[in-house]
Amino acid sequence: MDSKMPTNIPASSLDFLKQLKENNNREWFNDNKDLYLKEYDAIEKFAESLLQELRNHDVIETVSGKKSLHRIYRDTRFSKDKTPYKTNWSGGFKRATALRRGGYYFHIESGNSFIAGGFWAPNTEDIKRIREDISFDPEPLRKIINSKSFVKTFGSLQGEQLKKAPKGFDTTDEAVDLLRYKQFLLIRKFADAEVLSPSFLKEADQTFKNMRPFFDYMSEVLTTDANGEQLPGLS
């Protein structure tokens, strides 16, 4: 990576999003396409820098910052909201191989920026394995989410929850508060001033680092059997 590559989010990138929010139509966007491409380039460089930092402590499948970025064009086919463009910059990094579970995500939007990770939509088999492990022994997960590092960074575990114990689990289970989770999300919010700070790249990467104990726990749960042996077909 070029050491001279900009690693900060420029204020103009947030300004563009504010303008787009006020003019969310194809005519305005097409008239300002050059401005969009300029700001997109800055976000791409930030994403590339963040990817290089992330690779210092994890194995990532995503090949480039550009490939991490999500499209700004909204899919309006099944939405009542027909505005054509997203009003945020966002991207995600995929951990390599089926042995490493959990994903990394960043979202840049004036007044609503955050770094996140975890399991947005775990499949039926995965969530069953997670719940069975938690019910058998909730202490490993509780130790992680109650640690000083976790609480300072993320506050608490986030995500949609059932109103009561999931089917097949007792409502009196000591871990019912954890069993009710349908998603397992780690989220750290950032003010605009923090996003625009030269230290944001470092803070974003440190936030990803602080997810690892949780990811390591989930990866072990989802890739080994009751005897701790690796499940067949994983590599």
Mean pLDDT per 10-residue segment, the chain (235 residues): 64 97 97 97 97 97 97 88 95 94 96 96 93 96 98 98 94 96 97 97 98 96 77 65
pLDDT of amino acid 1:
43
pLDDT of amino acid 158:
98
pLDDT of amino acid 22:
97
Q: How many CB atoms lie within 10 A of CB 197?
A: 15
pLDDT of amino acid 2:
45
Q: Are 35 and 62 in contact (CB under 8 A)?
A: no
pTM of the model: 0.91
pLDDT of amino acid 201:
97
**Strand runs labelled E in the chain:** 89-94, 103-108, 113-119, 184-190
- The C-alpha angle 42, 43, 49, rounded to 5 degrees, equals 95
